[in-house]
């Protein structure tokens, strides 16, 4: 599903409210912006029945350059992890 598909689905689902695609687009952007801010500030965001987004840290490690075979240091990094709620898992 793309953002365009999501906007169309939300607009159709909320068709009784008379929202335009432009309004739904602004709402979707606001929701994802708010979730991203929550993850940045609190380290996690949880939505009951859907799942939890959290910051995952990865320690510095040693890897290999595939072309030369030499060892290289891979810097520590952060990424976002997702753990699905039991209700979402069961629906799959």
Domain span at residue 74?
Answer: 3-91
For the record, the structure tokens of 4 come out as 């365009």
> pTM value?
0.74
Output the CA angle 67-56-7, nearest 5 degrees.
Answer: 100
> What span, in angstroms and rounded, lies between the C-alpha atoms of 43 and 80?
9
The pLDDT confidence band at residue 39, using thresholds 50, 70 and 90, is very high
Total domains, the chain: 1
Residues 52-89 have pLDDT tens digits of 999 999 999 999 999 999 999 999 999 999 999 999 99
Q: Residue 63, by phi and psi: left (phi above 0), alpha (psi -120 to 50) or beta?
A: beta
CATH of the domain at 82: 4.10.520.10
Q: Is the dihedral of CA 19, 21, 22, 28 positive or negative?
A: positive
């Amino acid at each position: 599903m793309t953002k365009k598909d999501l906007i169309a689905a939300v607009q159709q689902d909320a068709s009784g409210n008379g929202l335009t695609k432009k309004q739904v687009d602004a709402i979707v952007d606001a929701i994802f912006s708010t979730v991203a801010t929550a993850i940045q500030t609190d380290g996690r965001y949880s939505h009951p029945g859907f799942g939890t987004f959290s910051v995952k840290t990865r320690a510095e490690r040693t890897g290999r350059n595939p072309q030369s075979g030499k060892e290289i240091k891979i810097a520590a990094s952060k990424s976002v992890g997702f753990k699905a709620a039991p209700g979402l898992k069961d629906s799959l």
